[in-house]
């Protein structure tokens, strides 16, 4: 083989080994870059198609090289015949590790001239005649062993070092959060205990158990009718009157429970995918009983009793106010909104007393307190951290984010641990940003939430493989902006309830509604609630003996107090009263 051809063959022969080190070095560099600049997107995701193409071509090239070397092996006279079979096996099994050694020994290195015959010749059969010649130095074997050791130990060493570096960065990030007082475990977020004789949880559970003893069809009707509570037909209202005596004991237990503190014995130890929170269904049952009773009291003209039932609905929702589980907050937020909606219905159809209205207003709390959404988000982070530490596998029947199943355990988890831990640091960065934003109202953070979602989407959608390289960011950073909007919708609804109650009390005291909301201060309100979506006061106008007060909603646009625009997501959050 000519020298030029030998050089070309040598370049292709050494490329697979060089590629391995280049690839591992590239991955290691990208991981460090992604950790240092998580907001700029992942370089791996962007260039991965190129890497994949080079990877495939390198594999195919290796097969071609093996074929070339096999053909050369059995055609050349430079390899002793007794070694050809051995080299064939070595080239086939050792491929990229054996080919450089073969290339150097039998293609690149010039053959040595025949050595002179030694003066002393051993006669066959004499001692030492069958021993290997002293000139047969196993250079090729030593070179082959060294090459294989480098090929095997090199990636292993790089994997170990990169894994250690990424784990150290992740641990350092958590240490920084702990240093500033951020809780990272559910045990740090566990609410204080409540004495058994003062705990409303037991009463709620007893009430739910009594309802569960009713015939299945009766329970189904309770659920159905409660869902229509504010729009019951006369026939349905009659059915509710017939059902209530059968749940009178359960309703009495709910009334007693609503006046107490509550702490359910929730599961703080099971993993995110294994935890069950049956007490949330218990609270839904309690709310249904109150909703049905409110409808009957309102129909009977018992305005104060109906308003007090709305107050109890609000307290049922607050029964999980100290729980750090995201699902608990979602249920609380939904039930709280229903309580305000029922009070709106009561005020629209009747005249509750000033005392009943003020009792409800006092329960609405501080509208600037964002502790609840922050607690839920911290609880979510505490739930996810163990999954990062030990890896996770999303069950095939768990519908989440549209790509199933996801796994960071087993051999895949071990092999790509440095990549996954790099993403874990990125995820913690995103979580910290989201928590900071959640502590401020929407009108201050809307553009920042949008930027966070864009950064996340850029990272996980940079290529078809990007989501697989960023499993934690892909699965765990999703929809935080929607949660923040939902929380501020709840804030807006409570603000509207405070305004509506103050307006009604003012009309009852002075005979008419004011010309503007500013007239409510300071006689009926200390300060006007701020619309969390505009940063201004809510919008008010008098209408046909009643009034309309509304928030502009999360689109930030004044749609004139329209709750839903056809074929549009734009809507205002409205409290309307015709009395």
Encode pLDDT of 437-455 as tens digits: 999 999 999 999 999 999 9
Q: Which of 363, 381, 409 is the last residue of a domain?
A: 363
Clarify whether residues 19 and 74 are in a common domain.
yes
**Percent of the chain at pLDDT exceeding 70:** 84
Predicted confidence (pLDDT) per residue in 454-488, tens digit: 999 888 888 777 777 888 888 888 888 999 999 99
Residue 540 lies in a domain: no
C-alpha–C-alpha distance, residues 241 and 306, integer Å: 15
- pLDDT score recorded for residue 568: 58
Clarify whether residues 350 and 448 are in a common domain.
no
Clarify whether residues 298 and 356 are in a common domain.
yes
Clarify whether residues 271 and 329 are in a common domain.
yes
Residue 345 lies in a domain: yes
Give the pLDDT mean for 346-350: 94
Identify whether the C-beta of residue 530 lies closer than 8 Å to the C-beta of residue 441.
Answer: yes
* pLDDT greater than 80 at residue 520: yes
More confident site: 306 or 29: 306
C-alpha–C-alpha distance, residues 22 and 18, integer Å: 6
Residue 567 lies in a domain: no
Exposed, middle or buried by CB within 10 Å (0-12, 13-18, 19+), for 36? Answer: exposed
C-alpha–C-alpha distance, residues 368 and 374, integer Å: 13
Clarify whether residues 350 and 386 are in a common domain.
no
Clarify whether residues 341 and 369 are in a common domain.
no
* pLDDT greater than 60 at residue 8: yes
- pLDDT score recorded for residue 39: 47
Give the pLDDT mean for 122-140: 47
Range of the structural domain that residue 233 is part of: 183-363
Residue 486 lies in a domain: no
Residue 510 lies in a domain: no
Task: Count Cα atoms within 13 angstroms, Cβ side, for 424.
Answer: 29
How does residue 142 score in pLDDT terms, banded at 50, 70 and 90?
A: low
Residue 542 sits at φ, ψ, to 5 deg, of: -85, 145
C-alpha–C-alpha distance, residues 231 and 482, integer Å: 29
Give the pLDDT mean for 353-370: 95
* pLDDT greater than 50 at residue 418: yes
Provide the Cα torsion 487, 489, 495, 496; round to 10°. Answer: -160
C-alpha–C-alpha distance, residues 172 and 177, integer Å: 9
Clarify whether residues 165 and 194 are in a common domain.
no
Clarify whether residues 288 and 401 are in a common domain.
no
- pLDDT score recorded for residue 572: 92
C-alpha–C-alpha distance, residues 457 and 56, integer Å: 28
Sheet strand arrangement including 539-543: 539-543, 546-551, 573-577
Clarify whether residues 205 and 161 are in a common domain.
no
- pLDDT score recorded for residue 148: 62
- pLDDT score recorded for residue 22: 79
Residue 533 lies in a domain: no
State the CB neighbour count (10 A cutoff) for residue 493.
Answer: 22
Clarify whether residues 83 and 177 are in a common domain.
yes
C-alpha–C-alpha distance, residues 517 and 494, integer Å: 16
Residue 578 lies in a domain: no
Q: Which of 478, 502, 525 is the last residue of a domain?
A: 478
- pLDDT score recorded for residue 399: 45
* pLDDT greater than 60 at residue 33: no
More confident site: 461 or 47: 461
- pLDDT score recorded for residue 220: 93
**Domains contained in the chain, number:** 2
Predicted confidence (pLDDT) per residue in 143-199, tens digit: 656 666 666 666 777 777 777 888 888 999 999 999 999 999 999 999 999 999 999
Q: Which of 74-78, 115-119, 207-211 has the lowest mean pLDDT?
A: 115-119
- pLDDT score recorded for residue 295: 94
Most confident option among 27-41, 132-146, 275-289, 459-473: 275-289
Task: Count Cα atoms within 13 angstroms, Cβ side, for 43.
Answer: 13
Residue 79 lies in a domain: yes
Identify whether the C-beta of residue 369 lies closer than 8 Å to the C-beta of residue 381.
Answer: no
Positive or negative CA dihedral for 262, 265, 269, 270?
negative
Identify whether the C-beta of residue 309 lies closer than 8 Å to the C-beta of residue 297.
Answer: yes
**Percent of the chain at pLDDT exceeding 90:** 52
Q: Which of 341, 363, 385 is the last residue of a domain?
A: 363
Clarify whether residues 329 and 396 are in a common domain.
no
* pLDDT greater than 90 at residue 57: no
Please report, for residues 171, 227, 291, 442, 476, the alpha-carbon distance to residue 231 in angstroms, rounded to integers and kept in the order given.
Answer: 55, 9, 11, 32, 39
Clarify whether residues 334 and 414 are in a common domain.
no
Intra-chain end-to-end CA distance of the chain, in Å: 102
């Amino acid at each position: 083989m000519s020298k030029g051809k030998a050089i070309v063959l040598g370049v292709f022969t050494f490329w697979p080994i060089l590629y391995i080190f280049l690839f591992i070095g590239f991955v290691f560099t990208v991981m460090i870059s992604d950790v240092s600049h998580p907001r700029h997107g992942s370089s791996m995701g962007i260039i991965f198609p190129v890497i994949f193409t080079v990877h495939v071509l390198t594999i195919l090239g290796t097969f071609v090289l093996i074929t070339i070397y096999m053909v050369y092996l059995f055609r050349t006279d430079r390899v002793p015949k007794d070694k050809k079979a051995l080299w064939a096996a070595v080239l086939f099994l050792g491929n990229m590790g054996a080919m450089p050694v073969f290339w150097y020994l039998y293609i690149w290195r010039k053959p040595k001239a025949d050595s002179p015959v030694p003066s002393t010749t051993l006669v066959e059969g004499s001692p030492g005649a069958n021993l290997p010649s002293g000139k047969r130095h196993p250079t090729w074997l030593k070179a082959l062993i060294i090459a294989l050791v480098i090929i095997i130990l090199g990636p292993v060493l790089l994997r170990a070092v990169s894994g250690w570096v990424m784990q150290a960065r992740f641990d350092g990030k958590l240490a920084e959060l702990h240093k500033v007082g951020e809780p990272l475990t559910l045990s740090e977020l566990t609410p204080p205990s409540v004495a058994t004789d003062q705990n409303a949880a037991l009463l709620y559970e007893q009430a739910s158990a009594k309802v569960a003893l009713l015939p299945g069809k009766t329970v189904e009707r309770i659920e159905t009718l409660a869902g229509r509570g504010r729009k019951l037909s006369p026939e349905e209202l009659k059915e509710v009157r017939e059902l209530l005596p059968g749940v009178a004991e359960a309703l009495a237990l709910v009334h007693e429970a609503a006046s107490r503190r509550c702490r359910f014995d929730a599961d703080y130890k099971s993993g995110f995918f294994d935890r069950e929170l049956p007490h949330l269904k218990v609270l839904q049952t309690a709310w249904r009983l109150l909703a049905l009773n409110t409808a009957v009291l309102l129909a009977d003209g018992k305005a104060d009793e109906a308003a007090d039932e709305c107050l109890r609905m609000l307290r049922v929702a607050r029964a999980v106010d100290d729980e750090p589980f995201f699902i608990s907050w979602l249920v609380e937020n939904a039930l709280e909104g229903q309580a305000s909606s029922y009070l709106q219905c009561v005020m629209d159809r009747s005249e509750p007393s000033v005392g009943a209205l003020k009792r409800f207003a006092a329960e609405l709390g501080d509208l600037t307190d964002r502790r609840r959404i922050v607690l839920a988000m911290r609880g979510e982070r505490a739930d996810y951290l163990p999954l990062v530490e030990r890896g996770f596998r999303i069950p095939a029947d768990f519908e989440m984010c549209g790509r199933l199943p996801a796994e960071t355990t087993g051999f895949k988890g071990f092999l790509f641990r440095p990549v996954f831990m790099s993403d874990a640091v990125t995820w913690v960065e995103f979580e910290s940003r989201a928590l900071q934003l959640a502590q401020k109202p929407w009108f201050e953070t809307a553009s920042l939430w949008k930027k966070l979602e864009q950064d996340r989407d850029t990272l996980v959608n940079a290529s078809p493989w990007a989501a697989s390289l960023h499993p934690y960011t892909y699965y765990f950073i999703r929809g935080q902006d929607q949660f923040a909007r939902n929380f501020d919708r709840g804030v807006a609804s409570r603000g509207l309830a405070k305004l509506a109650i103050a307006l009604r009390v003012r009309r009852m005291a002075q005979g008419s509604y004011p010309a503007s909301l500013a007239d409510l201060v300071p006689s009926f309100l200390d300060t006007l609630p701020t619309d969390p979506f505009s940063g201004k006061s809510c919008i008010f106008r008098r209408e046909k003996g009643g009034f309309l007060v509304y928030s502009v909603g999360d689109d930030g646009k004044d749609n004139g107090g329209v709750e839903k625009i056809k074929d549009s997501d734009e809507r205002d959050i409205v409290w309307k009263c015709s009395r």
